Structure 1
Amino acid sequence: MTVIKEEKTDVGLKQNIGLLAAVNIIIGVMIGSGIFISPTSALQYSGSVGLCLIIWASCGIISLLGALCFAELGTVVPKSGAEYAYLLETFSKQHKFWGPLPAFICNWVYVMVLRPAEVAILILICITYCIEPIRINIGFDNLDETNQQNFKKLLAVATLLIVTYINCRSVKLFVSINNFCSIGKVVACVVVIFGGVYELCRGNSRDLSSSFEGTTTNPGNIALAFYNGLWAYDGWVSVTCVTEEIKRPEKNIPRSILISVPVITALYVFMNFSYLIVLSPSEMISSKAVAVEFGQRVFGPFAFIIPLGVALATFGCALSIQFSVTRLCFVAGREGHFLAPMSYIHHERMTPGPAVALQGLISFIFILMGDVHELIEFASFLIWVFYGAAVICLLVLRKTRPDLPRPYKVPLIVPFLTLAVAVFLTVTPMYNQPPAKYLAALGFIISGLIFYIPFVCYKYRPKIMDKFTFLIQVLFEAIPSDKKET
């Protein structure tokens, strides 16, 4: 089977993302459903309002430190793929077998489970909150539980198709819609904050004078409070997933981080403060959707604004996560760590259509499964494993390749602090949660070796791959970005 060739010489991902769009990509991923639905775990583990607010602010500072490390890495290794690209650049030439393995495992976890499962959950949440204001009008409550779930899944699949279409169609379309969603998210956050200020001015606020009463002194609980807070902040790495599409990445990556992370930190801290003005700590901890309950107390007949804000936030977050992880598919396919056709792009739109379609398919499977929260929980601690590994890459590259251009360089104390936090967040939860989740994560990593050894190490290529590659090129009008016949 002959693989389709293309004579163009300028085929590749284009630098269509400016500073504002880069800021909105970070905001799009960082502001998801968590801050609206259940920002309660940090409060529960911290034991007091005062310590909880300190932890939320500290998590923002820690996230900024980590993001600044990635900002340097993004300028030193100007490739899309974030942690994967940095692990590959740092270790791939060290050993034939073990060198590329960390990068492969990173790609394996993110592409096959973590990110598409997150997209599935976000879309299901989006549908839940889209239905909320109109559930009576559409007769949703008249359905039995099974039919309600099937109805949600049907709408979720339709939403997933829209998300996948946008990311297949063009980067400019993604940027436009993501900018709109990001602005909407920030507006929803500001509405919550002003709602709290309004109640405070009216005198309908709770007494916070004893805000540190009940503060925990248990190091394990404090660690879990930080762990849950940092999970809500996750997403600051997203702009380095699309480095090759950022205009002037040496300047816009650090700038986008320095703008977006402090803004989100301020929003998160003041939103929690607003919640605590209106709701008691016990009400927050027991609530399944804090912002919705807050809206019902403060906005009355206009409380529907909050569910719509949550729906907009989750849709934009799902869109941005899929956009980012498809670039990881693209880079891994280009490097021989994934199916080669996943690195092919549309000959006119310059989007990695095959990679986007694959992520849509995997997310579709997770939507059909329904509740995949446990699946994310067993793999999510690996995120900080990879963050820590990327920081090690920064330190190693400074030692082994000091002459590389570094338009942006963080003080050395920053990566050491970030690495300490990564180790802390990776090890501590193992003492407080069932070990079965971590054994499951280890099992999933080992399953990746089944593919790594024959297809990456020994470069085994089944003959059927020629037919598969030809089919992908025809279906997606896609061609190799590097002009290598595969």
Structure 2
Amino acid sequence: MTMGSSTEIKSTNPSDGSIGGVKLKRKITLLNGVALIIGTIIGSGIFVSPTGVYSATKSVGVSLIIWCLSGAFSTLGALCYAELGTSITRSGGDYAYIYVAFGPLAAFLMLWVSILIIRPTTQTIVALTFADYAAKPFFPECDPPAYAIRLLAAVCLCLLTAVNCLSVRWAMRIQDVFTAAKLLALVIIILTGLYSLIMGNTHNYDKAFRGNFDLTDIALGFYSGLFAFGGWNFLNFVTEELQDPYRNLPRAIWIALPMVTSVYVLANVAYFAVLSGIEMESSPAVAVAFGAKMFGSFNSLVPVFVALSTFGGVNGILFTSSRLFLTGSQEGHLPEFFSYIHAERMTPVPSLIFTCLSSLALLFVKDVYTLINYYGQILWFSVAASVAGMLYLRYKEPNMPRPIRVNTIIPILFLIACMFLVLFPIPRQPLYTLIGILITLSGVPVYYSFIKWDILPDKSKKKLEMATKVLQSIMYVVPPETEQTLHS
């Protein structure tokens, strides 16, 4: 599935070392990697999800346990991905691992769902959340106009796409700065809450373990907690650009996941020190309710902090999504043009623009949030498939280099938890499950028609080649040199 051959653009970038030596560069440091994981995980979740966790359990103690276990679960998954990312060093994350383990069709279906729903929906929702909170200080007495929120979300997406097109280092600096800003915001919340506890405001912790212990409701609490940890595997999508990935990938995981878990648990301790259960349930954004009680006239700063957090989250999702589509293109599962990179800046401009446009298109969807219901199970299934693939490759290719090899009990426990997350919602939301399956399976005829059998007429292929050459000249992009392919 290609869009034509390249024109004669040559790289003149001195950093390449030679004319025409064009490929993604290893510019992501250990600090950048830690910031990418933390910055992608900490979006709007910790400012919103505590309400969902508490509403499900009605218990302060059980809520805190769920937050701890959600962090532990994410860490187990990240450890499995450390083995995957150091044994299969291509960028692309789940797509690359499923490809190597189970073949091109399974990988394409994962890519298909990512293109249609998962990636653009996630980016759009985080961008809308950013816009909502960024506009809030200007509309203190009412909700911001819907058109203003969507326009601001579009500006956010376009601005960050432009930065990512111009420079990987600039994109990583944005990630570092906004990660620091969101950590600062959470530290302020934590210290304020702990001060309240020290001053004797502990009544919300009385009878902390009285509440709702129904298994169904506790599971729903885990959904809210795990939503806030989403993004723990995103560094695996850019391993080709990570410096010394064999050392820095596991290091970044060991630094980032315990840090995020600690911050999340302490933030919830702070929330419960200030807010009662009724106040927690009645507030869609718990951080805003917390700020209203504790910061007085400075309460308007809380939406700003949430906006900063989500802005960095959009940047991380945009950065990793483009690498997923680039890797899919290199394997022939997307038009060849999406694998091209800028001849001088070494950034994947076409895949970045495609990622941005697909998210902008969803801004016209009336209720984009409903799309979350269709991909939650598919997302966890793809994660489970990646970890199952890791176990299968241990059997299929026992001599594959594995700089990191986790204890077998870790992926087994993780797979059990993943399958629970996949199977549990089926009785409660069978329609969403059915739609998610149909969207996934709709990729099968696409795969066989345009990739396996390549039924596209020659006349159409020539038109695509011409379009590719025109776009290539406009964007000044070329096919990259690749050290390996997934099917090699």
**TM superposition score normalised by structure 1:** 0.93
Q: Distance in 1 between matches of 2:112 and 2:25?
A: 26
Q: Quick check: 2:204–2:275 contact (8 Å CA) kept in 1? A: no
Q: How big is the shift at 1:225?
A: 1.7
Match 1:32 to one of 27, 43, 51 = 43
Q: Distance in 1 between matches of 2:340 and 2:33?
A: 24
Unaligned runs of 5+ in 2: 11-18, 484-488
SS at match of 1:288: coil
Q: Distance in 2 between matches of 1:243 and 1:37?
A: 31
Larger displacement relative to structure 2 (153-162 or 352-361): 153-162
Q: How big is the shift at 1:204?
A: 3.5
> Which residue number corresponds to residue 407 of structure 1?
403
> Which residue number corresponds to residue 315 of structure 1?
311
> Which residue number corresponds to residue 13 of structure 2?
none
Q: How big is the shift at 1:450?
A: 3.3
SS at match of 1:429: coil
> Which residue number corresponds to residue 135 of structure 1?
139
Q: Quick check: 1:116–1:322 contact (8 Å CA) kept in 2? A: no
Aligned AA (1:32): G
Query: Among the aligned pairs, what percent are the same residue?
Result: 38
Aligned AA (1:455): F
Are 2:141 and 1:116 aligned? no
Q: Distance in 1 between matches of 2:90 and 2:291?
A: 43
> Which residue number corresponds to residue 151 of structure 2?
154
Match 2:357 to one of 352, 356, 361 = 361
Q: Quick check: 2:9–2:476 contact (8 Å CA) kept in 1? A: no
Match 1:45 to one of 18, 39, 56 = 56
Q: How big is the shift at 1:403?
A: 1.4
Q: How big is the shift at 1:91?
A: 2.1
Aligned AA (2:105): L
Aligned AA (1:325): S
Larger displacement relative to structure 2 (120-129 or 318-327): 120-129
Q: Distance in 2 between matches of 1:277 and 1:312?
A: 25
Q: How big is the shift at 1:380?
A: 1.9
Aligned AA (1:421): A
> Which residue number corresponds to residue 87 of structure 1?
98
Match 1:230 to one of 219, 226, 230 = 226
Q: How big is the shift at 1:483?
A: 8.2
SS at match of 2:478: strand
Q: Distance in 2 between matches of 1:350 and 1:206?
A: 56
> Which residue number corresponds to residue 97 of structure 1?
none
Q: How big is the shift at 1:468?
A: 2.5
Larger displacement relative to structure 2 (443-452 or 251-260): 443-452
> Which residue number corresponds to residue 454 of structure 2?
459
Are 2:28 and 1:17 aligned? yes
Q: Deviations over 1:158-215 (max 9, x none)?
A: 1211011111111001011110010011111111111101211223443413000124
> Which residue number corresponds to residue 172 of structure 2?
175
Match 1:239 to one of 213, 235, 238 = 235
Q: Quick check: 1:37–1:292 contact (8 Å CA) kept in 2? A: no
RMSD (CA atoms): 1.8
SS at match of 1:430: coil
Q: Quick check: 2:45–2:229 contact (8 Å CA) kept in 1? A: no
Q: Quick check: 2:68–2:265 contact (8 Å CA) kept in 1? A: yes
**TM superposition score normalised by structure 2:** 0.92
Q: Distance in 2 between matches of 1:289 and 1:28?
A: 19
Match 1:202 to one of 182, 194, 199 = 199
Q: Distance in 1 between matches of 2:72 and 2:100?
A: 28
Q: Deviations over 1:108-138 (max 9, x none)?
A: 11123211111111111111111222326xx
Query: Cα gap change, 1:193/1:105 in structure 2, threshold over 3 Å: closer, same or farther?
Result: same
Q: Quick check: 1:22–1:239 contact (8 Å CA) kept in 2? A: yes
- Equivalent positions of 1:35-74 (< 5 A) are 35-74=46-85
> Which residue number corresponds to residue 430 of structure 1?
426
Aligned AA (1:62): F
Aligned AA (1:44): S
Aligned AA (2:45): G
Q: Deviations over 1:78-122 (max 9, x none)?
A: 000011000111222xxxxxxx11111111111232111111111
> Which residue number corresponds to residue 96 of structure 1?
none
SS at match of 2:271: helix
Match 1:293 to one of 289, 294, 297 = 289
Q: Distance in 1 between matches of 2:425 and 2:320?
A: 27
